[in-house]
Structure 1
Amino acid sequence: MKQQSRGRRLMVLSKTYWLQAIVVAAAALVGVVLALSPTSAVLAQDVSPSAGMSEDARLSAFFENVYERRVAESPMSQARLGRRTDAYGEWDDFSDAHSTEQNELTRRDLARLRSEFDYDQLGDEAKLSYDVFVFDAERRLNNFKYRYHHYIATQHISQVSGLPTVLQNLHPITTVEDAEAYISRLQNLETVMKQFATLVRTRAEKGIIVPAVSFPYVIADARAVISGAPLDESAEANAIFEDFRTKVNKLDVNSQTKSALLARAESALKGPVVRGYEAFIAATVRLQAQASNNDGVWSLPDGAAYYRNRIKNHTTVDMTAEEIHEIGLSEVARIHTEMSAIKERVGFEGDLQAFFEFVRHDPNNRFLDGDEGREQFLAEARVQIGEVQQVLGRYFNRLPKAAIEVRRVEPWREATGGIAFYNRSSADGSRPGIYYANLRDMKNVQRYVFTAITYHESIPGHHLQNSLAQDLKGLPAFRRHGSYGAYGEGWALYAEQLAKEMGFYKSPMQDLGRLQNELWRSVRLVVDTGLHSKKWTIEDGIEYFRVNTPLSEGDIKTEVERYLVVPGQALSYKIGMLKILELRAKAKQTLGDQFDLRDFHDAVLGAGPLPLPILEQVVDAYISRADGF
């Protein structure tokens, strides 16, 4: 891959941010023109008290420098932020060597923070940023210890299928130079895919191979990327080529220029892209024969310690697998009681199991089949979002600025794609947030469930939370753009319940769909810990789901196989939601008539994404202020 010097990249990327940090932080520097050299942009060492800056200002400059360095090392992060730089035609470096280098930089960053800044001299907001930075750095360092345990490609999370979506969603083409950068990325895919092949082999040498159930999905995903015209005789166009052609055809250039660009893209696809993906497929097929089981991570070398790491990484709290398992069992029982009440309310005769079976096959719980049903779903989801937007001001003091779109998951990645997911908007709001729904088989799409999922993925869920975070003023960038699973997914699951308070489940069966979603996330606590700590089989997990939820057979299989290959991630939703509800109850009990839900939401969302222990500190501070202490 084409490489740029770190100094030059940082000069391009961070000069504006560095100047803003200094100017805002130190009044003495207002009006001074700073000519930063590449070296000074990289090192940013002049943050000592002698620079005439307060401790808060020095810390702010340090955070911005570290953040911009990380962004400079990641062309894909630049794309997500909506930045077009001299690395627009590149990919991230996924090699072990680069990961090791980044880990050492994180270690040094943490050491500098602790040695160069006086915590007691910081203001409250700066202390909060300090604490979040420490938590994040320690999490990175702990995760690095288990880097080889991380599966490179699975049916749920995989750069193999993810890289083409970066091109489709994060690489707009408005100039010929943009198109040339797109082609450069295609040419560089060979290097990236060969890096992935090497990483897969390295893990296998250490006894870490993805579960057998994952291989067919991963191989199919990779083959789908290099399928379609003009790569073969298929009637369907290759997804990448079609994306490039659509974007290039909108350029205001002559037909000869367009034809030349399309020819170069076709050549890159048929050459380096195909070679890279075929190398990865070959390496994966060779390992498939060695994948002898579908066991949880308990079966891996040091698997128990790795699962503890995954629990902490995804939940941000210190809990044991057994504690989480018991919470799951308790929540499943509680929600069953609420669902039984709805069963009685609608006059269904039979036990809860019979009611679940009825729900699975209820024609009112289904959309029309085929494309007509897909359009029906998309239209209903857009109406839902519009209805929520009209009343948001009653529940939130701050409203999101970025637009939200609802899209179908692209057909080429439907087979292994999740049920629904969200892609955040660009930092400047020029690219909307996207709520993706997997509409591959409309017979498998439950209307009651997706009513709640729409609130989860869009508003008041992920889109609202992410958009408000990006709009925050005065926070370090690493906090505005940070990510903690228990916080983000916990908020989105809380948003499903909030939508009920807002009056948006218009029938008992729609409310049943909300409860079904909460039950689904509670069952995750049981099944994830069962697979990875209690040595459950896939069949054990599927049976627990079948007995305790109304999910369809297809969704159950997809879910359990997902938990197997992404240990701990499924725990974040319910653990996060429970913490937010706990904090809300504490605020309401303490403040009584002074409690304002909008102010509580400001407290939860107004500090950016946070680990749950730090979120609790923030809410406690809000309670103290509101209570007059």
Structure 2
Amino acid sequence: MHYRLFTVVLMAFLLGGCEYLNQLANESAEEFFAKAYEEQLMTSPETLTALGRRERYGEWDSYAERDMDMSYRMAQRQLEELRGLSYDQLTPENRLNYDLFERMLERQIERNRWRLHTYPVNQMFGVQAGIPALLINFHRIDSEEDALAYIERIRGVEKLLKQVNVLLQKQQKEGIFPPKFVYPLVIGTSERVLSGKPLNKKDDFDNAVYADFVKKVKALNLDQAKTDKLIERASNALLLQFSAGYRQLIGVLRDLESKATEDDGVWKLPDGEEYYNFQLRSYTTTDMTADEIHQKGLEDVKRVHAEMDELRKQVNFRGDLQAFFKFMRSDKQFYYPETDAGRQAYLDDTQKIIDAMEAKLGEQFITIPTSKLKVKRVEKFREKAAGKAFYSRPAPDGSRPGIYYANLSVMADMPKYQMEALAYHEGVPGHHLQLAVAAELEGVPEFRKLSNFTAYIEGWGLYSEYLPKEVGMYQDPYSDFGRLAMELWRSARLVVDTGLHSKKWTRQQAIDWLIENTPNPENDSAKSIERYIVMPGQATAYKIGMMKILELREGAREQLGENFDIRKFHEVVLQNGAVPLDILESLIDEWVANGGN
């Protein structure tokens, strides 16, 4: 009897000790996630600013080799520390946190090998456009100290661009150049950044950065002498360091342009095939090969063509699908005027589409974010080279709304029939809903709120173009054609991205293929191919991600039967933030195994 009692007491003691050890393991893990992610954030002043924080407010991210080396070593150290945690003692939630953080660090470490293969100056996301974009859209001025930090950033442009120039010249020595077409675009953007007074006194308008600073400083309502002094200091910094930095960059770019070639795909780079395979793995979060992705694209293009042909018959169009494409490209009824009034009408009508969809979100979603969404035209200094539409996250503190940017530089590239699909993709239920829900998650580490797995994020965006059809949107058959055209565009990306970077297609060959197989305008097709060339692999993530989400949804529907609830399915997908596709599949499998609860 005494032996039994002793055994019971001993077991209780051991179990209590295990619980205590498990608690310590989870506390250590949570402390690590918070500390490690904060350490990473502190290396990027620009990310801190985008998050609405004031640390390192007058600084830029560094392109210096020593700082890149430091970030690489930090990632290696953090991965070693992470793997020192007691994984088996973690809660399911912390195991998920562990798996995600490990995946992020592994990707960061592997990417270091390819740091010279990324083009830091390009027409899509290059530093030359990123400088004014951050100052204008993210650098808030709520105090005199904020204004001084803005001026410090203007002054710091010369140092920043010197670092970029060194990197460009190091790439040159390794035989790494963007294709020749990139240079006129980025030089043009850089020259436009220098336009306007006081940088160019011949212009009859103010420089975009100068105008932004003046507007923000005047809103502080400081005494006039102090306001004038701040504006004078900003003006001097623009005329000196800012201007010098850009002019030096333009000089380096002109020199590199004379040495660049017409070859487009990254197959031309040292170890280009291996680099492209890394890009595909990184963006799709799968092990699909370039050939598999290419074939998947060809098959899906054929499927969407068949659906579009049915719609062609529905609107009683006489002629084949190619003739229908030509009609949709050229008929004036589908385009806004190339005027300021036409551009404003586009923005106004887009807002109406978003408002109508927001009223229906409750039919498909449980959690609706509180963050606001604003529709805005891409600024003139970067619109000629920028993509047709993109989204900027809201600030976590609510100080800045989510922004859907529409590129209205050429209205012929923004047909009315694509407006709905674009609004749903960039706004709701697309990027704004998904990213805002992630930002508002509770009880998860900060890195989960801001994780960036492209196949998930862009797969959700493309899936969100389809979702509104299930609640009665796309009433106009031509808008439904636009939805199919946008889906076709992403299917075609699987073909042309792999064609360019794996099968050695030329830029013109890829443009011709798009024009032959999609209804998109020729100029839009050319700009898109130029985007895929400087962002190898990224464009494949959209369709791969959408296919996986639809596959998981239909699999869950089949297994759960009448217990399947689309709102609960979306809750599982969204409430974990952005994750790799294999982890998303595990989460959905677990939800299905629990009966859809």
Question: In structure 2, the residue corresponding to 1:342 is in which secondary structure?
Answer: helix
What is the distance in 1 between the residues matched to 2:278 and 2:466? 30
Cα displacement (A) at 1:500:
1.1
Letter in 1 for 2:249: F
What is the distance in 2 between the residues matched to 1:204 and 1:375? 43
Q: Counterpart in 1 of 2:371?
A: 402
Q: Counterpart in 2 of 1:355?
A: 324
* 2:266 paired with 1:266: no
Q: Is the 8 A contact 2:485 2:518 kept in 1?
A: yes
Cα displacement (A) at 1:252:
1.5
Q: Counterpart in 2 of 1:92?
A: 61
Q: Is the 8 A contact 2:474 2:480 kept in 1?
A: yes
Runs of 4 or more above 2 Å deviation: 49-54
What is the distance in 1 between the residues matched to 2:40 and 2:87? 24
Cα displacement (A) at 1:444:
2.9
Q: Counterpart in 2 of 1:257?
A: 226
Q: Counterpart in 2 of 1:162?
A: 130
Moved more, 105-114 or 318-327: 105-114
Letter in 2 for 1:591: L
| Matching of residues 429-578 of structure 1 within 5 Å | 429-578=398-547
What is the distance in 1 between the residues matched to 2:540 and 2:65? 28
Letter in 2 for 1:64: A
Cα displacement (A) at 1:340:
0.1
* 2:378 paired with 1:390: no
Q: Is the 8 A contact 1:528 1:571 kept in 2?
A: yes
Structure 1 pair 589–52 and aligned structure 2 pair: CA distance change class (3 A): closer
| Matching of residues 317-356 of structure 1 within 5 Å | 317-356=286-325
Q: Counterpart in 1 of 2:34?
A: 64
What is the distance in 2 between the residues matched to 1:370 and 1:585? 45
| Matching of residues 170-249 of structure 1 within 5 Å | 170-232=138-200, 233-249=202-218
Letter in 2 for 1:311: L
What is the distance in 1 between the residues matched to 2:63 and 2:453? 22
Q: Counterpart in 2 of 1:149?
A: 117
Question: In structure 1, the residue corresponding to 2:405 is in which secondary structure?
Answer: strand
Q: Is the 8 A contact 1:455 1:461 kept in 2?
A: yes
The sequence identity of aligned pairs, in percent, is: 43
Moved more, 398-407 or 285-294: 285-294
Letter in 2 for 1:547: E
Q: Is the 8 A contact 1:449 1:517 kept in 2?
A: yes
What is the distance in 2 between the residues matched to 1:565 and 1:245? 35
The match for 1:76 among 46, 54, 62 is: 46
Q: Is the 8 A contact 1:365 1:447 kept in 2?
A: yes
What is the distance in 2 between the residues matched to 1:239 and 1:596? 49
Q: Is the 8 A contact 1:368 1:376 kept in 2?
A: no
Structure 1 pair 610–381 and aligned structure 2 pair: CA distance change class (3 A): same
Cα displacement (A) at 1:50:
9.7
Structure 1 pair 329–627 and aligned structure 2 pair: CA distance change class (3 A): same
Letter in 1 for 2:97: S
Letter in 2 for 1:272: Q
What is the distance in 2 between the residues matched to 1:187 and 1:52? 51
Cα displacement (A) at 1:93:
1.6
Q: Counterpart in 1 of 2:262?
A: 293
Q: Is the 8 A contact 2:375 2:404 kept in 1?
A: yes
Cα displacement (A) at 1:158:
0.5
Q: Is the 8 A contact 2:437 2:574 kept in 1?
A: yes
Cα displacement (A) at 1:54:
2.5
What is the distance in 2 between the residues matched to 1:447 and 1:125? 44
What is the distance in 1 between the residues matched to 2:386 and 2:130? 10
Question: In structure 1, the residue corresponding to 2:360 is in which secondary structure?
Answer: helix
Question: In structure 1, the residue corresponding to 2:326 is in which secondary structure?
Answer: helix
What is the distance in 2 between the residues matched to 1:442 and 1:561? 19
What is the distance in 2 between the residues matched to 1:54 and 1:609? 27
Cα displacement (A) at 1:556:
0.5
Aligned residues: 578
What is the distance in 1 between the residues matched to 2:441 and 2:520? 38
Q: Is the 8 A contact 1:404 1:458 kept in 2?
A: yes
Which TM-score applies when normalising by structure 2? Answer: 0.95
What is the distance in 2 between the residues matched to 1:626 and 1:200? 55
What is the distance in 1 between the residues matched to 2:279 and 2:413? 31
Q: Counterpart in 1 of 2:548?
A: 579
What is the distance in 2 between the residues matched to 1:286 and 1:202? 14
Cα displacement (A) at 1:52:
9.8
Q: Counterpart in 1 of 2:5?
A: none
Question: In structure 2, the residue corresponding to 1:626 is in which secondary structure?
Answer: coil
Cα displacement (A) at 1:627:
5.1
Q: Counterpart in 2 of 1:415?
A: 384
What is the distance in 1 between the residues matched to 2:430 and 2:320? 33
Cα shift readout 1:373-423 (whole Å, capped 9, x = no counterpart): 111111111111111111211111100111000000111111101100000
Letter in 2 for 1:178: D
Question: In structure 1, the residue corresponding to 2:359 is in which secondary structure?
Answer: helix
Question: In structure 1, the residue corresponding to 2:181 is in which secondary structure?
Answer: helix
Which TM-score applies when normalising by structure 1? Answer: 0.90
What is the distance in 2 between the residues matched to 1:52 and 1:212? 58
Moved more, 175-184 or 514-523: 175-184
Q: Counterpart in 2 of 1:34?
A: none
Question: In structure 2, the residue corresponding to 1:149 is in which secondary structure?
Answer: coil
What is the distance in 1 between the residues matched to 2:22 and 2:264? 58
Q: Counterpart in 2 of 1:10?
A: none
Cα shift readout 1:587-619 (whole Å, capped 9, x = no counterpart): 101100000001000111110110111111111
Q: Is the 8 A contact 2:565 2:596 kept in 1?
A: no
What is the distance in 2 between the residues matched to 1:561 and 1:122? 46
Moved more, 500-509 or 296-305: 500-509
Question: In structure 2, the residue corresponding to 1:54 is in which secondary structure?
Answer: helix
Q: Is the 8 A contact 1:486 1:576 kept in 2?
A: yes
What is the distance in 2 between the residues matched to 1:197 and 1:393? 51
Q: Is the 8 A contact 1:370 1:441 kept in 2?
A: no
